[in-house]
Amino acid sequence: MKRYLMGFDIGTLSSKAVLTDLSGTIIAKCQMEHAIEIKHPGWQEESMTMWWEEFKAAAAYFLGLAGIEKDQIKAIGVTGLIPAMCAVDYGGNPVRNAILHTDVRAEKELREINEKLDCKISHGHMLPKILWVKRHEPEAFKRIHKIMVPHGYIGFKLTEHATMDYDSATMAGGLFRESSLGWDEGTIREFGLEPYLFPDVYPASQVNGQICEAAAEETGLSQDTKVIVGVGDTFASMLGGGAYNAGHFMLYLGTSGTSIYAENSPEQYITIPHYGEGKGHFTGRIFSFGESILHLRNNLGYDSWEALNSHLEEIPPGSEGLWYFPHYKLQTEASFFGPDAEFMLGYRGCHSQFHLYHAMLEGIAYNARYNISGLDLPIRRINMFGGGTNAREICQLFSDVIGRELYYNPKSSTALGIAFLAGYGSGLIERYDTLEKSWLSDSIAVKPDEAKARQYHALYDKYQELRERLMELDSEIDKIQE
């Protein structure tokens, strides 16, 4: 009997699922789009019930395929955006919508927290959101039995065991002690909370349990199927093709561009927190990618990427004097140009819509090169990951701009990474190096065009000069407007 693994990834704008065999061959995959609920400016929520319905739909799709029986799906891993606040009552029902990590409503709570904590936190942590609910929705807060993260909620629905992985716990916001791998009950009580609200913490790869009777009835899955604790989408992306070995640098091209470096093999820190000295490192600045090119595509009136990508190789390095400066995620509301301002210089009569697109991709690639150049650790290999790698032309342009050989794998995904972790954590996959030798053995190398790389080397220095001057100009204009 063939054996399969299921990976499920809860994303900001969609959920993705993959079914693989133990060698990493993708049997099937599916995607379900959804939207963020924005009830007020700065608020960002999603329905936990919607995520569960999407998981059930993915399971039903896989079980409906010819030759796939429920007993063949041996292990499941769930990943997703973190650290969205997911509160459930004593019956396991959502108390309210999940508050996403990108929600910035809890300004007052954040200030109060940072007055008490030695290590400052941000809106990206969970604690400000918990305190906001406590203050503004007291009746709802009284009903809360457990506070989880998105993948933990799905794991809870599947097994009836409330858990949280170590990395997600570190994102709670000063409430978790990495030294002891446990909750800091004194700090929790200092903020007027009770320790019982927070689930037990475990390694991401640990088996949380098997499918419970209620979940088996709802999903059609076997009660013998194992479910791991799971992990946030960043580490799952590393395993899914981003940075799965020592010295790997992941260049993630999704809605935003993120750079992560694996100092040592993730095999060494699967069962402990994943980031820090000797482990994974977030490098450089987060920069815009998908949101910028989609905005441009929509304004140009195109419905697909192919029409734009097919002209990329017609445009020479430097886009014939056109410079485009997509934004880093460091601009603020205090900026005169605004938090998401982008800049274009040198637009003239010889430039077409394809020059605009080419110049924007060059600018984004320069931002990626900046992150790579700022890392003072040896890079053995650069892996491109995310939706941007779906076009060979984009991969080639990035290789030319960065001036290094890049790798991508068409089947790489966060869902694939969590499926592997489910197999590895459950013991179905015995060796970690199966990931490189089998699951991702067919990665494709993209070599830079030497002549273009030389041109981009000179252009990069000029790009950095221009960007610095733009930021200075922004500051100067802001002062004039005060």
Give the pLDDT confidence of 116-160 residue by residue, as tens digits: 998 889 898 999 999 999 999 999 999 999 999 999 999 999 999
pLDDT at position 339, please? 59
What pTM was computed for the model? 0.90
Q: Is residue 27 part of a domain?
A: yes
Q: Is residue 271 part of a domain?
A: no
pLDDT digits 0-9 by tens, 199-211 = 999 999 999 999 9
pLDDT of 335 higher than 70 = no
Structural domain harbouring 170:
4-233
pLDDT at position 93, please? 96
CB of 215 within 8 A of CB of 137?
Answer: no
Average pLDDT, the chain: 93
Alpha carbon distance 399, 91 (integer Å): 52
Given 233, 252, 267, which residue is the final one in a domain? 233
Residue 460 gets which letter from DSSP? H
Locate tokens 């929600």: which residue? 103
Is there a single domain that holds both residue 190 and residue 104?
yes
Alpha carbon distance 347, 323 (integer Å): 8
pLDDT of 326 higher than 90 = no
pLDDT of 13 higher than 90 = no
Token pair belonging to 224 = 């013998």
pLDDT at position 191, please? 96
pLDDT of 475 higher than 80 = no
Is there a single domain that holds both residue 197 and residue 313?
no
Q: Is residue 266 part of a domain?
A: no
Q: Is residue 132 part of a domain?
A: yes
pLDDT at position 478, please? 62
Given 216, 233, 250, which residue is the final one in a domain? 233
Alpha carbon distance 311, 413 (integer Å): 27
Is there a single domain that holds both residue 204 and residue 137?
yes
377: number of Cβ within 10 Å: 11
Q: Which of 81, 120, 97, 83 is nearest to 43 (CA)?
A: 97
Total count of domains within the chain: 2
Mean pLDDT to the nearest integer, 358-369: 95
Q: Is residue 444 part of a domain?
A: no
Percent of the chain at pLDDT > 90 equals 83
pLDDT of 37 higher than 90 = yes
Is there a single domain that holds both residue 194 and residue 306?
no
pLDDT at position 227, please? 98
Mean pLDDT to the nearest integer, 413-423: 97
Kindly compute the dihedral angle of the four CA atoms of residues 126, 128, 131, 135, in this order, to the nearest 10 degrees: -140
pLDDT of 428 higher than 60 = yes
Q: Is residue 227 part of a domain?
A: yes
Task: List Cα–Cα distances, 314 to 67, 195, 308, in angstroms.
Answer: 46, 60, 11
pLDDT of 91 higher than 60 = yes
Is there a single domain that holds both residue 301 and residue 210?
no
Q: Is residue 388 part of a domain?
A: no
Alpha carbon distance 418, 240 (integer Å): 7
pLDDT of 271 higher than 70 = yes
Q: Is residue 337 part of a domain?
A: yes
pLDDT of 402 higher than 60 = yes
Mean pLDDT to the nearest integer, 231-256: 94
Given 233, 250, 269, which residue is the final one in a domain? 233
Is there a single domain that holds both residue 9 and residue 135?
yes
Is there a single domain that holds both residue 155 and residue 304?
no
pLDDT at position 94, please? 98
Beta-carbon contacts of 406 under 8 Å, excluding residues fewer than 6 positions away, are: 251, 382, 383, 384, 395, 398, 399, 445, 446
Q: Which of 80, 100, 78 is nearest to 5 (CA)?
A: 78
Is there a single domain that holds both residue 198 and residue 62?
yes
Is there a single domain that holds both residue 69 and residue 217?
yes
pLDDT band at 328 (very low <50, low <70, confident <90, very high): low
Is there a single domain that holds both residue 27 and residue 166?
yes
Instruction: Give the Cα-Cα-Cα angle 28, 29, 30 (nearest 5 degrees).
Output: 135
pLDDT at position 337, please? 60
Is there a single domain that holds both residue 299 and residue 224?
no
pLDDT at position 481, please? 57
Q: What is the CATH number of the domain that holds 225?
A: 3.30.420.40
Q: Are strands 73-80 and 146-148 parallel, antiparallel or unpaired?
A: unpaired
CB of 395 within 8 A of CB of 384?
Answer: yes
Is there a single domain that holds both residue 314 and residue 197?
no
pLDDT band at 15 (very low <50, low <70, confident <90, very high): very high
Which is it for the CA torsion 107, 112, 114, 117, positive or negative? negative
Alpha carbon distance 420, 19 (integer Å): 10
pLDDT digits 0-9 by tens, 459-470 = 999 999 998 888
